[in-house]
Structure 1
Amino acid sequence: MTSPGWPAAFSGVRLHVVSGKGGTGKTTAAAALALALATGGKRTLLIEVEGRQGITRVFDTAPLPYEERRIAVAPGGGEVRALAIDAEAALLEYFEMFYRLGMAGRTLRRMGAIEFATTLAPGLRDVLLTGKVKECVTRTGRDGRYVYDAVVLDAPPTGRVVTFLDVTRAMADLAKAGPIHSQADGVVQLLHSPQTAVHLVTLLEDLPVTETLNTVRELDAADLRAGALIINKVREQWLPDRSVAPAADGRIDTARVRNGLAAAGLDLPAEVVDGLVAETVEHAVRVAAEAAALARLDSELAEPMPRLELPHLLGGVDLGSLYELAEALVAQGVHVRQTSGASA
């Protein structure tokens, strides 16, 4: 079953991976989560790895280069920075960090060797991306404190998120020694530790719920920690619970509705009343379907999962409404614990 709210155990998570079926709004949810975690003077980093520049569209900013840039100020003096990780740039950085091949790496780039390498070993791209994520999560400043209080990763969709997160384990097994092994082993330890949680965004519809349940099982099989279910586009229920089933079946007394409106001083044409009744039936059908989807999540989850809800916003998402979503998450207990350094 699911339980509303953000558990205390999540306050110590440093890497929040956000995934979801395409169309569920995972990038918007990741952005709202980064803002919520930055509330109260914290610093968070929001990372994307798919090359879509989705973060820039949500925050209405210029395309992100391969560098960390501040894109938003959170309530209470916090800030959100963003990074779009490019696999080729990450490989060049890797060459320089571990092999001191700065100039040689740039020569390889001109020769097309990097594209060749990532094509020859497709998993290498994901290793580079997760390696950079790990570096951001564990980076400390001169004072020994973590540079970021939390990192939020806008991850690939649920259909491939487990493969993306677990590819480094295979690479660590292939490379038995040296910098590649050490780097891969460090990524594996982070992703499979209590410092990481994989949050899944869903809508209360059949296909997203099915994919969410399948992904929870895949995460469990891969020994990756499932985080919260983030239910997106939750709409207010207008009808009392007792009226939902009859209305969904079309059992509405139109004459009674018309008389009630007239008693309230609203003398509406018959076609307007009929339209209101039709809207009520449509609303009741949706409420009943969403209740059934939530009941399915509760009944088919092997272990309880925390549940967060994001309200449905009329007119789409802009920067102002993104803050509304973040505020909704904070109201449900989302926060990050201040950490003192690499040993915290």
Structure 2
Amino acid sequence: MVSGKGGTGKTTVAAALALAMATGGKRVLLVEVEGRQGIAQVFDTAPLPYEERRIAVAAGGGEVRALAVDSEAALLEYFEMFYRLGMAGRTLRRMGAIEFATTLAPGLRDVLLTGKAKECVTRTGADGRPAYDAVVLDAPPTGRLVTFLDVTKAMADLAKVGPIHGQAEGVNQLIHSPLTAVHLVTLLSDLPVTETLDTVAELERADIGTGAVVVNRMREQWLPDRSVTAAAGGRVDASRIRNGLSSAGLELAPAEIDGLVAETVEHAVAVAGETAALGRLDTEPDPPLSRLTLPNLLSGVDLGALYELAESLTEQGVRVEARR
């Protein structure tokens, strides 16, 4: 599962993670549950229907399939699976009964969403082998992540017997098992890092396994370490910059030199802040969390950039063992 504070790029990271895991001939399913069609946007494709379809080919012959889970469609599927109410279920949808049911029991919606992901994880083919080597879930933001994951336990307690109880209990067992890890995406600024650390603590209290912290949009440091502190404090020698440029055959106007000085200070301030945030990630959790980093792509994220991010994750050791 991939989560993060809104705006940190969790959907992009989930997509890159799925591509990295599919490297080398693996089959990976990328699932979204928020109804935003974020996966389709990242891969620049048409909106996804409620069905698994191939969305990308990974290095080494692997493939990524994608699924946008719709709670209404999942409930109809649930009715058909457990009650054989295919036609009746469609009638219930027209009557608005599905919306009524999920409003009456709000936790039911999340059980349906996570339940579909669980079905994909545990599904096997005719040969008994798992259908997917890995399932990557683009989960809700960290602000409601633990509620989304632990609601299955609440529903299991609410429905003491029957298919709903079994569904919720099965999802609950999977979420709390070694098969599941929650990866948290953050940017190196105070609010995302604080929310990430708070979520790590929440997951620990809920007994849900935490995977890696993914530092997204990592800024490239253009200054040597010894110069960052001074520059962040505004101590930049404009004459030294002018002389250095002049020796390289570049003559700039005073206003242009002033602009370079201002950019240098701005860069140093940002680097100093990110270094402090990185220090929090390294020291505050006990034990420290595994960390992955992704670069800040100045040109934005298109499909080609997504493959670059996946390659970066692969180089950092992201891989999955074949289950099939």
| TM-score category (smaller protein) | over 0.9
Q: Which runs of no fewer than 5 residues in structure 1 stay unpaired?
A: 1-16
Deviation at 1:106? Answer: 1.2
User: Does the CA-based 8 Å contact 2:132-2:323 persist in structure 1?
Assistant: no
Tell me the SS of whatever aligns to 1:196.
coil
Distance between the aligned counterparts of 1:157 and 1:303, measured in 2? Answer: 24
1:231 alignment partner in structure 2: 215
Deviation at 1:27? Answer: 0.5
1:124 alignment partner in structure 2: 108
* Cα deviations by residue, 1:110-141 (Å, 9 ceiling, x for unpaired): 11110110111111100110110100011111
1:258 alignment partner in structure 2: 242
Structure 2 counterpart of 1:275, which letter?
G
TM-score by length of 1: 0.93
1:249 alignment partner in structure 2: 233
Deviation at 1:303? Answer: 2.2
* More contact order relative to length (CA 8 Å, sep ≥ 6): 1
* Cα deviations by residue, 1:10-69 (Å, 9 ceiling, x for unpaired): xxxxxxx00000000000000000100001111111100000001111000000110001
Matched, 1:218 2:192: no
Deviating more after overlay: 167-176 vs 18-27: 167-176
Structure 2 counterpart of 1:118, which letter?
T
Matched-pair identity in %: 78
Indicate which of 289, 299, 303 corresponds to 1:305.
289
- Number of residues of Structure 1 aligned to a counterpart in Structure 2: 324
2:89 alignment partner in structure 1: 105
Deviation at 1:175? Answer: 1.8
Distance between the aligned counterparts of 2:159 and 2:266, measured in 1? Answer: 57
Indicate which of 320, 327, 337 corresponds to 2:311.
327
Indicate which of 243, 257, 276 corresponds to 1:273.
257
Indicate which of 165, 189, 193 corresponds to 1:205.
189
Alignment of 1:34-49 (within 5 A): 34-49=18-33
Indicate which of 22, 43, 47 corresponds to 1:59.
43
Indicate which of 287, 291, 294 corresponds to 2:271.
287
User: Does the CA-based 8 Å contact 2:281-2:289 persist in structure 1?
Assistant: no
Structure 2 counterpart of 1:213, which letter?
L
TM-score by length of 2: 0.98
2:9 alignment partner in structure 1: 25
Tell me the SS of whatever aligns to 1:65.
coil
User: Does the CA-based 8 Å contact 2:27-2:64 persist in structure 1?
Assistant: yes
Distance between the aligned counterparts of 2:158 and 2:89, measured in 1? Answer: 23
Alignment RMSD (CA, Å)? 0.9
Matched, 1:160 2:144: yes
Structure 2 counterpart of 1:104, which letter?
A
Deviating more after overlay: 208-217 vs 300-309: 300-309
Matched, 1:170 2:154: yes
Matched, 1:316 2:300: yes
Deviation at 1:220? Answer: 0.5
Matched, 1:133 2:121: no
Deviation at 1:152? Answer: 0.4
Structure 2 counterpart of 1:38, which letter?
A
Deviation at 1:171? Answer: 1.0
Distance between the aligned counterparts of 1:188 and 1:294, measured in 2? Answer: 33
Deviation at 1:302? Answer: 2.6
Tell me the SS of whatever aligns to 2:143.
coil
Distance between the aligned counterparts of 1:21 and 1:338, measured in 2? Answer: 31
Stretches (4+) displaced over 6 A: none
* Cα deviations by residue, 1:57-100 (Å, 9 ceiling, x for unpaired): 10000001100011111111111110000001000101111111
User: Does the CA-based 8 Å contact 2:281-2:288 persist in structure 1?
Assistant: no
Deviation at 1:298? Answer: 2.0
Distance between the aligned counterparts of 2:160 and 2:41, measured in 1? Answer: 41
Distance between the aligned counterparts of 2:313 and 2:71, measured in 1? Answer: 32
1:151 alignment partner in structure 2: 135
Deviation at 1:107? Answer: 1.3
Distance between the aligned counterparts of 1:272 and 1:181, measured in 2? Answer: 68
Deviating more after overlay: 63-72 vs 166-175: 166-175
Distance between the aligned counterparts of 1:136 and 1:68, measured in 2? Answer: 10
Tell me the SS of whatever aligns to 1:170.
helix
User: Does the CA-based 8 Å contact 2:34-2:140 persist in structure 1?
Assistant: yes
* Cα deviations by residue, 1:180-215 (Å, 9 ceiling, x for unpaired): 222211111110001000000000001101111110
